[in-house]
Structure 1
């Protein structure tokens, strides 16, 4: 079994055990038939989006999360606004403090740094 598929299986295990409510997995498009087959056989809600360079993003998890992803991620991830990036990271269960730091950094890069009140 290719390493990418082993990683996917670990993500699926974590989702099924309740460790995650949503997963983002980037993989080589040559595995698309196997990935789609696995998602359908396990009856897991999923969304595929092309990344470019022969890769796809697979989002899977709770339907309400996937509905939000459909609304937020309508462009390449690198073009998300700082707010969209923050929301997606929080939905994926990334460390909240790290997401806050990333958000502030991205906002400042765009020239929107605000002075903090005392």
Structure 2
């Protein structure tokens, strides 16, 4: 049985298989860091914590925090991509995910690019 340590693998599968998202970013979806000369827009995602819930019989579930970052050279593109990612992940359940919740979102401007950051909590 996979634990919260495998969350990035499952996030990548969800994001990379979506045709609507592919039309927006192509194959520019990366765990942790984008390729050095990647063309905009692109997506990165990072697991920030895995917190197991322990019971007398062992681990019941993992609470996994992760962030999805969207980078583009125009603001509206980042918002449109963020909206699609939210549709794909928020409330998601599967044989791996018990539930995914959007916890927070924020935006910034860095290196002449717009950035949307979506913070999620997954129960595995």
Same fold by TM (over 0.5)?
Answer: no
Between structures 1 and 2, the one with greater strand share = 2
Bigger radius of gyration among the two: 1
**Structure with higher helix content:** 1
TM-score by length of 2: 0.28
Normalization by structure 1: what TM-score?
0.29
